[in-house]
Every structure is written in structure tokens, then in C-alpha cells.
Chain A
Amino acid sequence: DTGVSQDPRHKITKRGQNVTFRCDPISEHNRLYWYRQTLGQGPEFLTYFQNEAQLEKSRLLSDRFSAERPKGSFSTLEIQRTEQGDSAMYLCASSLELAETQYFGPGTRLLVL
């Protein structure tokens, strides 16, 4: 596997439920990023990790959102008590530490009913 993978690709949930998404970066990449993309807009930065350390979080990342990268490899993004406004595509990307080029996964499309 040479690319970034995300699981699941699609998720439909009811308002108030919790959801968790997984991202597996390119194996030698130590930086991992999460973005959210809504229809007709570009990706919005949520957070990023260098190895297992979460270095920056956007103000978009409310306290219902949490991201982890426990061993510096894969990452999870959890949304608690989902709201309809959380419906979006959640994108993961990875890069080498000193490189600005990010490689994106296919995304997880979330629909909150």
C-alpha cells in the first residue's frame, strides 16, 4: 500500500450518536493532518500530529471532536454527540516532517440524519 487510506469511506448516523474514523498514513510519514470539507468549499484544517504529538488544533475542532495518534502511526478522529452540521467529508493527509507536500486519502463522507 503506497497511499493514505481512510475507513470507513461512508458513514450514516443519527443525531446524537458518536462516530469514529480511522486514517492510515503513508508508512514513512511522521506528520498526519485532518481536514473537513463541505460541499462547494475547500478543505478546512482541523488538526495535525507530528508522530504521536498533536501540535495544533483549529478553533473549528469543538470539544465534541477528539483526535488521537497513539503510536505515531494510524490516527482516529472521534465526533461525540453528532449534529447535522457535522455532515461533511473528513479528509486525512500525511507528509514528511520537513516537506510541505501533503498526500491525501479518499476521505470519509459523514451524513448525520
Chain B
Amino acid sequence: GDSVTQMEGPVTLSEEAFLTINCTYTATGYPSLFWYVQYPGEGLQLLLKATKADDKGSNKGFEATYRKETTSFHLEKGSVQVSDSAVYFCALSLAGKSTFGDGTTLTVKP
């Protein structure tokens, strides 16, 4: 079946550091790919998405590129802020069904 594997956390960075959270997937078709973020005490929010190979999703300084050849969708940000502290989930969606990774907890220290 479909699956998503995320870099294990937790990840702790200093403010303004570069962030990478790795995500790879296995799917039977050609999925859309997503990053969701969950801030403390809040629900899941869509951060960015990409619907086909080589698409780059971006939002709030975060970016991820849909790499079909490596089945990856790594999340990057050039300079993290304390307010980016949250849990990040990589997900794929295919034929109406979404499959999520287990999440990566990011803590950014001032």
C-alpha cells in the first residue's frame, strides 16, 4: 500500500538556522504531495502542496519540490523562526485517500 516516511525527530535548531525535513513516499499511482503543520494546541493546517513531478510548493518561506525520480518531497526553509516550532507532517493523496507520515517535531530556540 501507499506509505510516507519522514525524518525522525525531534529537531532542535537555533533561530535563523537552515531547516530540512526529509520525506519519501511509496505510491501505486501519481499522488499529490503535501506538507501540513500542527502548531501546539491547534489542528492540522496545510502548509504547501505539489500536484505533479518537478512542481515546487512554497508558503511562508518554506519550500518543497516533488521529485518523482527519488520519490521525495523534502521540506526546506532558509531561516527558521521561533514561531515555526510545530509538528510537520508529510502526506500524499491519491484517489481521495490521504496517507500521512508520523510527523517531525521542530523546536526553534532563540
Binding site for B on A (CB under 8 A): 31, 33, 35, 40-45, 48, 50, 55-56, 91, 93, 100-107
Smallest CB-CB A-B distances: 8 pairs: A42-B100, A100-B32, A104-B44, A100-B93, A106-B43, A43-B100, A42-B102, A41-B102
Interface residue total, chain B, C-beta cutoff 8 A: 22
The CA-CA distance from A93 to B44 in the complex, in Å, is: 10
Q: How far is the CA of A48 from the CA of B97 in the complex (A)?
A: 8
The chain B residue sitting closest to A3, CB to CB, is B43
The residue from B46, B89, B99, B100 contacting A101, defined by CB atoms under 8 A apart:
B46
Do A41 and B97 contact each other (CB < 8 Å), given the known contacts A104-B44, A106-B42? no
CA distance A92 to B33 in the complex (A): 19
Q: CA A106 – CA B99 in complex, angstroms? A: 18
Q: How far apart are the CA atoms of A102 and B50 in the complex, in Å?
A: 13
